[in-house]
């Protein structure tokens, strides 16, 4: 049928119409009345010469679903909803204006009925317009009184801050500290530029960034910290207020979601009506009429069929379809390439177009009945995946059709009964047609079986039709001859194509010779040969299965023997010392952990009780082996000998590092600030620290040297950001006087009046005091690329690390830590413990990435630099080096940060000496039996499946974002 459109022709006006056309979901009338309504809409749209303006209408279905899910809509999404509501209201205004100019008001009533009594939500449109400026995509000041006040205060504070920084920059310029006065913004904070050599001009200033050459620092003066903090708080408050306004508008849209979706459906219905009208004008179609019976008309309905005919015709040939009342089955016969399938498709497509309210490409007013279903089996349905042949594919489709067909359905079957024995195919086809004549409204089939055309002689509900074939030109004419029977003319068509004449003559002789008896004999011989081949394959499969069973049995016997010989070969030739296991009545129990002497006191698990021959079956890893009772010992007996060679080497390395620390401590005696703990809780905390420093028993004063380098810093992060270990929040902590983050800040400020607070967002801050700091290792907060770092201690390989990360010689140790973290976050496909292993020295640091809301803590393996952590009253994570501060802030919910470990808010606590072993929190009880603290220890008996790896920023970030940075 001539209904195909060129790709450049666009009939729809909205994105919803485009999606409907591309997904083939054009609505069809589910009843004759619905199809008449769709056809009336098409006629009304075709009568309008000037197209409607659909501009501004967008498919906001996804936006509506997001609001229903509780999401906050963006300004752009709110503006899309506003434009759609305004443009939809414009459609009804255009239609009403066109109707008022027309002489007949009923002419466009079918279109007006679509949008009449529709809620255009003008109040919602006005609310969005009042709160949001769609031209600049901003929330207006008038949206709320609080927003207007916040923006006014922020403007005043920023003016004062810029004026102060200009004065500071001018003084620096006069002192020769910069080529020209420069006030800029780094990391969302206002700052000034200053040469590295003149850093002393800004005492207690904070380094926010540095130039690429390292010659210039961008520093925040001490007097600008409070105003910058105020700017952060006001900026956060402004964002919170804007989000509240957007959330309010999103909730309003969610409340009106049903009305908006109903409005979108009505706009789509209008768009499809104009698309059908445009299609009718493009193909010069005719408006069809509904008939109560079959397709009939005294003047014959003529449909244009667009068929590619090689050389015979240059334009479509009209197909006349005339089916009288009472006919239920039409059998179309004729030659191949004669147009049987195309004519059948024409009827089916015309019926579907009528249901959709579309015009038909007919020469006169056609009359077509309404069908509830159009069911077709056309084409080859072979499938290797479903093991379907040509015949099986056809039969499976016909079976499904017969199940769903009703008394008002149209059934189209192409080449019915083909692909199998002709006699059986004719019998099956006749049975199917007899079934269809009593159960469907109309069935049209094509066939090459002449026997099916004889059904008309027995039943008047059958009708024959043939495709005309010219014997003179030996070519089809593509015309239907109603009431006639056609011939296949296969040999004549083959002769016309140019087939070898000798082969055609031989085929004609075969037609006379082949009989049903010979065909049956051929089928019997073929079936017998296939059955013999199947029996051979079954015998071979049974032999292969038996051989596989014998091979697997032998494999298991050989493997068990090999394992036993390997274990015996690793046993020392001498006798083991006699222990209590061999000379006592001790019997290992199932599930008990024992040591295998012959494998260097490796741990194994008993899986079976000892047998009478004094042997026991144990499992080491995935291997099970039977050993003598004398070759194993209890775990308690072998503890002293279970120290592995790698651990001994690590202890030697630690003692070597202790000698370096002792020499370093002698050079720093003048700068030591020794602190003591007075409370009983601090004494217990020192006892916990002592459990991690067994290598320093002979040097009790050494950790105090590095403690003097810190003990003046504080960091607090919300629970949603830090995600601290659950073991830090002990049950006793709920009844203890934990402090809130605000109270913790006041405690630190009262004890350290010279401290500088760095506010990240509400409830998240860093604080640092410079009192009594060691001039050789000053404390500082470094901010680079939105990454904050507090570092304390000393690195011995700074030169190598600067060269490794491509940093200048002015780069501090904190800058090295930040660069190492950035490499791990953005590019490195290796585990996070690798970064800390490259650091040689005594250190502890706190790093926070404000872009990804990632917290990174680390402490050297010897624990010479103090670092405590705990939880506040609201679950926030508190980190400090001052035991008095952590005790006052967290009560009993704190503990020393375990040496040799790193903590990442996304990956948890990891030991960089034992990355494949879990770090567990072990509760500790006081004298009264109450849990008073928790100690984090490496569980050497529990191994992870793999080391946590980080290859991109997504591995570090969580769902919480720090506002303001």
CATH code of the domain containing 182: 1.10.1420.10
The number of angstroms, rounded, from the C-alpha of 321 to the middle of its chain's C-alpha atoms is 54
Parallel, antiparallel or unpaired: strands 713-717 and 764-768 = antiparallel
Same domain flag for 295 and 381: yes
3-state helix, strand, coil in the chain (%, to 5): 45, 20, 35
Those residues of the chain that have pLDDT short of 70 are: 1-9, 104-105, 292-315, 337, 380-389, 470-475, 485-498, 508-526, 559-586, 598, 600, 622, 635-711, 730-737, 772-779, 827-831, 926-932, 944-965
Residue 896 forms beta bridges with which residues? 868
Same domain flag for 459 and 520: no
Q: Which of 224, 248, 272 is the last residue of a domain?
A: 248
CB 676 within 8 A of CB 711: no
pLDDT, tens only, 462-480: 888 888 776 666 667 778 8
Residue 326 belongs to some domain of the structure:
yes
pTM reported for the whole predicted model: 0.50
- The dihedral built from the CA positions of residue 929, 930, 936 and 939, taken in this order, carries a sign that is positive
Angstrom distance (rounded) from CA 731 to CA 728: 10
* 648-653 long-range Cβ contacts below 8 angstroms, 24+ apart: 650/913, 651/695
Count of residues making up the chain: 965
Q: Terminus-to-terminus CA distance in the chain, angstroms?
A: 64
Same domain flag for 471 and 400: yes
Residue 6 belongs to some domain of the structure:
no
Angstrom distance (rounded) from CA 831 to CA 934: 27
Same domain flag for 826 and 698: yes
Beta strands in 779-916 (DSSP E): 780-784, 787-795, 841-849, 854-859, 868-871, 877-880, 894-896, 901-904, 908-911
CB 187 within 8 A of CB 787: no
In the 8-state DSSP scheme, what is residue 461?
T
Domain that holds residue 267: 15-121+256-283
Residue 181 belongs to some domain of the structure:
yes
Q: Hey, is 170 helix, strand or coil?
A: helix
Q: Which of 526, 561, 596 is the last residue of a domain?
A: 561
The number of angstroms, rounded, from the C-alpha of 729 to the middle of its chain's C-alpha atoms is 33
At 264 the pLDDT is: 92
The values of phi and psi at residue 89, to 5°, are -65, -30
CATH code for position 610: 2.30.30
The number of angstroms, rounded, from the C-alpha of 280 to the middle of its chain's C-alpha atoms is 44
The number of angstroms, rounded, from the C-alpha of 307 to the middle of its chain's C-alpha atoms is 47
At 675 the pLDDT is: 32
Angstrom distance (rounded) from CA 124 to CA 110: 28
Strands of the sheet with 623-628, listed across from one edge: 623-628, 615-620, 602-606, 593-596, 632-634
Residue 960 belongs to some domain of the structure:
no
At 691 the pLDDT is: 33
CB 12 within 8 A of CB 72: no
Same domain flag for 686 and 770: yes
State the total domains in the chain. Answer: 6
Angstrom distance (rounded) from CA 457 to CA 7: 48
Distances (CA, A) of 153 to 420, 448, 499, 592: 88, 90, 94, 70
Angstrom distance (rounded) from CA 804 to CA 811: 12
- The dihedral built from the CA positions of residue 832, 838, 842 and 846, taken in this order, carries a sign that is negative
Q: 122 is written with which tokens? A: 């003008």
CATH code for position 397: 3.40.50.300
At 686 the pLDDT is: 42
Residue 520 belongs to some domain of the structure:
yes
CB 885 within 8 A of CB 908: no
Q: Which of 634, 648, 721 is nearest to 957 (CA)?
A: 721
Burial of 338 (0-12, 13-18, 19+ CB in 10 A): buried
C-beta atoms surrounding 90 within 10 Å: 17
Residue 799 belongs to some domain of the structure:
no
Same domain flag for 856 and 892: yes
How many helices and strands (H and E) does the chain possess? 25, 35
In sequence order, the 6+-apart residues with CB closer than 8 A to the CB of 60 are 77, 80, 81, 84, 260, 264
Angstrom distance (rounded) from CA 57 to CA 13: 9
Same domain flag for 385 and 435: yes
CB 805 within 8 A of CB 828: no
Angstrom distance (rounded) from CA 909 to CA 901: 7
C-beta atoms surrounding 723 within 10 Å: 20
Same domain flag for 271 and 315: no
Same domain flag for 674 and 741: yes
At 235 the pLDDT is: 93
Q: 215 is written with which tokens? A: 């010659």
Q: Which of 239, 268, 283 is the last residue of a domain?
A: 283
At 938 the pLDDT is: 83
The string of DSSP codes covering 927-963 is: TTS-EEEEEEEEEEEEE-SS-----SGGGT--S---T
Same domain flag for 729 and 840: yes
At 514 the pLDDT is: 56
Same domain flag for 848 and 909: yes
Give the CA dihedral 188, 192, 194, 198, nearest 10 degrees: -110
At 844 the pLDDT is: 92
Angstrom distance (rounded) from CA 680 to CA 324: 107
Residue with token string 């980190």:
879
Same domain flag for 363 and 425: yes
Residue 363 belongs to some domain of the structure:
yes
Residue 803 belongs to some domain of the structure:
no
């Amino acid at each position: 049928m001539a209904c195909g459109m060129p790709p450049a022709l666009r009939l729809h006006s909205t994105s919803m119409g485009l999606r409907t056309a591309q997904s083939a979901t054009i609505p069809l009338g589910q009843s004759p009345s619905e199809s008449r309504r769709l056809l009336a809409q098409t006629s009304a749209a075709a009568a309008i010469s000037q197209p409607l303006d659909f501009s501004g209408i967008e498919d906001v279905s996804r936006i509506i679903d997001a609001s229903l899910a509780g999401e906050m809509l963006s300004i752009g999404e709110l503006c899309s909803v506003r434009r759609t509501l305004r443009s939809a209201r414009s459609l009804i205004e255009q239609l009403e204006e066109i109707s008022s100019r027309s002489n007949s008001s009923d002419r466009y009533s079918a279109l007006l009925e679509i949008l009449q009594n529709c809620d255009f939500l003008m109040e919602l449109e006005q609310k969005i317009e009042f709160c949001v400026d769609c031209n600049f995509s901003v929330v207006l000041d008038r949206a709320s009184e609080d927003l207007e006040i916040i923006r006014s205060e922020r403007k005043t504070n920023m003016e004062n801050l810029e004026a102060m920084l200009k004065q500071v920059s001018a003084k620096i310029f006069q002192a020769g500290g910069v080529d020209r006065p420069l006030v800029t913004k780094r990391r969302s904070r206002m700052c000034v530029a200053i040469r590295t050599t003149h850093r002393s001009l800004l005492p207690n200033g904070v380094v926010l960034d540095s130039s690429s050459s390292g010659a210039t620092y961008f520093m925040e003066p001490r007097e600008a910290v409070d105003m910058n903090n105020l700017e952060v708080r006001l900026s956060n408050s402004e964002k919170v207020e804007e989000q509240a306004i957007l959330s309010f508008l999103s909730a309003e849209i969610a409340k009106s979601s049903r009305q908006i979706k109903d409005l979108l459906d009505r706009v789509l219905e209008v768009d499809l009506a104009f698309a059908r009208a445009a299609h009718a004008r493009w193909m010069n179609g005719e408006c069809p009429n509904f008939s109560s019976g079959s397709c009939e008309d005294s003047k014959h309905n003529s449909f244009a069929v667009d068929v590619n005919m090689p050389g015979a015709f240059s334009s479509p040939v009209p197909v006349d379809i005339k089916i009288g009342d009472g006919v239920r089955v039409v059998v179309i016969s004729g030659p191949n390439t004669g147009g049987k399938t195309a004519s059948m498709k024409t009827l089916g497509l015309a019926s579907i177009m009528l249901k959709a309210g579309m015009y038909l490409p007919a020469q006169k007013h056609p009359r077509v009945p309404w069908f509830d279903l159009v069911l077709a089996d056309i084409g080859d349905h072979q499938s290797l995946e479903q093991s379907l042949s040509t015949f099986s594919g056809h039969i499976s489709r016909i079976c499904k059709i017969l199940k769903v067909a009703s008394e008002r359905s149209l059934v189209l079957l192409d080449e019915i009964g083909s692909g199998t024995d002709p006699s059986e195919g004719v019998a099956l086809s006749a049975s199917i047609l007899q079934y269809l004549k009593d159960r469907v409204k109309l069935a049209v089939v094509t066939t090459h079986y002449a026997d099916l055309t004889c059904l008309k002689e027995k039943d008047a509900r059958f009708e024959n039709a043939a495709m005309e074939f010219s014997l003179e030109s030996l070519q089809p004419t593509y015309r239907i001859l109603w009431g006639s029977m056609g011939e296949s003319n296969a040999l004549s068509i083959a002769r016309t194509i140019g087939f070898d004449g000798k082969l055609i003559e031989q085929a004609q002789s075969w037609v006379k010779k082949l009989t049903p008896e010979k065909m049956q004999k051929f089928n019997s011989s073929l079936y017998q040969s296939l059955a013999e081949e199947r029996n051979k394959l079954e015998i071979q499969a049974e032999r292969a299965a038996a051989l596989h069973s014998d091979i697997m049995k032998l494999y298991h016997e050989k493997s068990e023997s090999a394992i036993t010989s390997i274990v015996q070969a690793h046993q020392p030739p001498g006798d083991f010392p006699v222990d209590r296991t061999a000379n006592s009545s001790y019997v290992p129990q199932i599930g008990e952990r024992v040591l295998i002497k012959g494998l260097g006191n490796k741990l194994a698990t008993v899986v079976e009780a000892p047998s009478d021959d004094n042997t026991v079956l144990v499992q080491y890893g995935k291997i099970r082996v039977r050993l003598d009772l004398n070759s194993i010992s209890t775990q308690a007996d072998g503890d002293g000998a279970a120290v592995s060679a790698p651990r001994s080497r690590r202890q030697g390395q630690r003692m070597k590092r202790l000698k370096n620390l002792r020499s370093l401590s002698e050079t720093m005696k003048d700068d030591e600030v020794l602190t003591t703990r007075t409370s009983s809780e601090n004494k217990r905390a020192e006892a916990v620290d002592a459990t991690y420093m067994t290598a320093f028993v002979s040097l009790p004063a050494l950790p105090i040297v590095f403690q003097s380098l810190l003990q003046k810093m504080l960091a607090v992060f919300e629970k949603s950001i830090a995600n601290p270990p659950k073991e830090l929040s002990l049950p006793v902590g709920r009844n203890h006087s934990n402090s809130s983050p605000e109270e913790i800040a006041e405690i630190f400020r009262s004890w350290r009046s010279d401290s500088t607070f760095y506010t990240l967002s509400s409830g998240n801050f860093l604080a640092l005091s410079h009192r009594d700091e060691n001039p050789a290792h000053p404390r500082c907060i470094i901010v680079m690329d939105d990454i904050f770092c507090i570092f304390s201690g000393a690195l011995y390989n700074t030169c190598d690390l600067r060269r490794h990360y491509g940093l200048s010689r002015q780069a501090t140790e904190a800058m090295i830590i930040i660069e190492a973290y950035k490499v791990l976050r953005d590019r490195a496909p290796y585990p996070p413990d690798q970064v800390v292993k490259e650091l040689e020295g005594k250190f502890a640091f706190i790093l926070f990435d404000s872009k990804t809301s990632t917290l990174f803590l680390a402490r050297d393996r010897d624990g010479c630099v103090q670092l405590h952590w705990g939880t506040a009253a609201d679950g926030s994570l508190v980190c400090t080096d001052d035991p008095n501060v952590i005790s006052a802030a967290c009560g009993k919910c704190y503990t020393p940060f375990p040496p040799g470990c790193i903590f990442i808010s996304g990956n948890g606590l990891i030991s960089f000496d034992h990355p494949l072993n879990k770090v567990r929190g072990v509760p500790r009880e006081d004298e009264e039996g109450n849990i008073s603290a928790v100690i984090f220890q490496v569980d050497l008996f529990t191994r992870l499946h793999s080391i946590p790896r980080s290859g991109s920023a997504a591995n570090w970030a969580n769902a919480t974002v720090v506002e303001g940075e």
